[in-house]
Structure 1
């Protein structure tokens, strides 16, 4: 193969980000073949044509089925709302196309497991797939993974993860598809909580085996979206309101297969936090901590040092020896959010051309979906909730 030709399905925020990544990847990384964003597919022909010109993609279409049928498309990159993932991915795999699908993989466990089974069958034919949990490609988090895998933390005991946003804090923030259960599957839980779940299972190498959870919807209706207003904007005070059918916030404890205890929180209602994705892992030999607000650094504590030398120290993950960093700027010149998607494209291209399963696989993403479902089941079950006796309501 001289090139891998990509059809991006979806023209929104993620479509724009993926287009940038496919364009950037071969310019900074030595790849065995060159990926090229050839076609952009959206639901509206005119808007999609405008977006394709803006993204630097030569062709556009409003028919994803015809895109999959084309012989000159090698990769189908799915950047659409969750309720469309399964149909597009299954059709693409059946047509022999490699598939990159945004997270969460699907809107329910049944669809996710169907996709994982189809992906496993396609792999045996040399057709590969991957789910886009992009935070895995942060150099500092990838360094944390190396520290854990080499035993620097020892036996893992605690996982605590937070994903805090505030773009829905105002009750007049406009309604979007992310607040519609039929399209999004779930709210904060599936949108950003899924990232924390994937990161925790990936870092520890252990799956979550049980949860005890609570979900909240603080604002039950929102003004209809003015297309001129982006996320974080405000709808008109007299605009018709749409019912919110997903959660605004999720909190749950978790047990891991290796015996570790997890505490998770995800919310779009944490005023002052634009995108605070945090995780800390504690073991009997040390700890690592990461906050995406400071995405180029990881905090590491080595508990094997003499007590008078112990404490968290900051590692600036911008040295050429750090994951991905050597392809970019001189040490100390940090990376940004967009670089994660470039790294994702690089890893996918290398896996496809080397004939190996990319990660996270559809099966790994299906495991995240199982945890999401367990959280919802727990939150809906009164038997998991113990009232405090004598507490005043």
Structure 2
């Protein structure tokens, strides 16, 4: 049977951790969802020709390349998926948009507010001639969190009063864990703050439908020097030495207010022993509460404060029913989804928005707001935890 749907030809830049997850998503999305455009994995771009070719063959890309600028000049590429460290996001994304390509860029959007502002402005210009852009906060695509957003928007827990958000990992808790690019401020922009704190900032915005008004923050680096692995050669301050400096934060703490005045507490740490990927968020409103923990990612807990005290309690909703977001395309009820499915759903939403001529979310403007919150936390930490207003984005 002939498939007459138009193709969406994708070039992906970067093929490490995020490159692998994005590749799996591009492969699986058209096989489980009836998309209006068929994603075509056209070319994978990396720095090393041999490694990139091997990755392309393993991950399912048609060809490999080492010059992303040359790839942007090709007429047979429609979308550029950027899976590189943050220090290259702005340059690649702006060039891709200027060449008329759609762009997906991994979070956080950039390494600085200035870069994020420039990227958001480029996205607004590109929108005029039909080039769409999105930043990859994939936790928005977890079915249980999609359900949470729907329930909150429907007023099921009333007016939001408090948000408590954590993102806890332990992969750096060992002081002898090797130095990598995520510990280099020049490459990563920040540490736990931007790497995982960005997710809970965006998730707070997504679930509440609000932006942040101001923050008071504190950053802490527990281990200031680490062994340099061979793969880390070339990071700033590591030339010719066995150990190198850690130039980012290991943990970030902040209190904040949303536009409505609701209070927020944020904690991001890569030093929380026993917590592998514990992204947790709990929202308390005037009529109830909603709680989620990614380490039990198919479950949403909902508390209805209007129920009699005799029977009141958190209800455990297993978000695997066909009526739940995205689930109709997957498995029978009770058959859980995993981490990778959020990336597949991200591809689905992006492709559908492009086909409809609509702007996908989260937009570069959304990513800019997150960047402004991260920047305010960092500035507050440097200024004795002083309350710091969040600048209102320009449109």
TM over 0.5: yes
Deviations 1:250-294 (A, max 9, x none): 000001001100000000000011110000000001110000000
Q: Indicate whether 1:120 and 2:145 are aligned.
A: no
Q: Indicate whether 1:301 and 2:298 are aligned.
A: no
- Which of 295, 309, 312 is the equivalent residue of 1:310? 312
TM-score by length of 1: 0.94
**CA–CA separation in structure 1 for the residues paired with 2:385 and 2:154:** 40
**CA–CA separation in structure 2 for the residues paired with 1:178 and 1:207:** 27
- Which position in structure 2 is the counterpart of 1:60? 64
Indicate conservation of the 8 Å contact 2:290/2:302, yes or no. yes
- Which of 241, 245, 249 is the equivalent residue of 1:243? 245
Shift of 1:384: 2.5
Indicate conservation of the 8 Å contact 2:218/2:385, yes or no. no
TM-score by length of 2: 0.93
- Which position in structure 1 is the counterpart of 2:363? 361
- Which position in structure 2 is the counterpart of 1:331? 333
**CA–CA separation in structure 1 for the residues paired with 2:78 and 2:176:** 43
Indicate conservation of the 8 Å contact 2:216/2:385, yes or no. no
Secondary structure, in 3 states, of the residue corresponding to 1:288? strand
- Which of 90, 93, 106 is the equivalent residue of 2:94? 90
Deviations 1:188-233 (A, max 9, x none): 00000000000001100111111111100000011112449xxxxx
**CA–CA separation in structure 1 for the residues paired with 2:229 and 2:26:** 30
Question: Which sections of structure 1, spanning at least 5 residues, go unmatched?
Answer: 229-238, 386-393
Shift of 1:123: 1.1
- Which position in structure 2 is the counterpart of 1:350? 352
- Which of 206, 211, 215 is the equivalent residue of 1:211? 215
Cα separation, partners in 2 of 1:383 and 1:47, compared to 1, 3 Å? closer
**CA–CA separation in structure 2 for the residues paired with 1:346 and 1:309:** 40
Q: Indicate whether 1:17 and 2:2 are aligned.
A: no
Cα separation, partners in 2 of 1:383 and 1:277, compared to 1, 3 Å? closer
Secondary structure, in 3 states, of the residue corresponding to 2:310? helix
- Which position in structure 2 is the counterpart of 1:284? 286
- Which of 350, 374, 377 is the equivalent residue of 2:376? 374
Question: Which sections of structure 2, spanning at least 5 residues, go unmatched?
Answer: 233-240, 388-395
**CA–CA separation in structure 2 for the residues paired with 1:248 and 1:61:** 35
Indicate conservation of the 8 Å contact 2:141/2:346, yes or no. yes
Secondary structure, in 3 states, of the residue corresponding to 1:60? strand
Q: How does 1:91-240 map to 2 (within 5 A)?
A: 91-227=95-231, 240=242
**CA–CA separation in structure 2 for the residues paired with 1:348 and 1:225:** 37
Shift of 1:153: 1.1
- Which of 276, 282, 297 is the equivalent residue of 1:274? 276
**CA–CA separation in structure 1 for the residues paired with 2:229 and 2:366:** 34
Cα separation, partners in 2 of 1:383 and 1:159, compared to 1, 3 Å? closer
Once superposed, which parts of structure 1, at least 4 consecutive aligned residues long, lie more than 6 Å away?
none
Indicate conservation of the 8 Å contact 1:174/1:226, yes or no. no
Shift of 1:306: 1.9
Shift of 1:46: 1.1
**CA–CA separation in structure 2 for the residues paired with 1:38 and 1:110:** 32
Deviations 1:96-130 (A, max 9, x none): 00000000000000110111111111112111000
Shift of 1:383: 6.3
Deviations 1:308-351 (A, max 9, x none): 22110100000000001111000000000000000000000000
- Which position in structure 2 is the counterpart of 1:389? none
**CA–CA separation in structure 1 for the residues paired with 2:273 and 2:206:** 29
Shift of 1:58: 1.4
Secondary structure, in 3 states, of the residue corresponding to 2:255? strand
**CA–CA separation in structure 2 for the residues paired with 1:193 and 1:41:** 28
Indicate conservation of the 8 Å contact 2:161/2:262, yes or no. yes
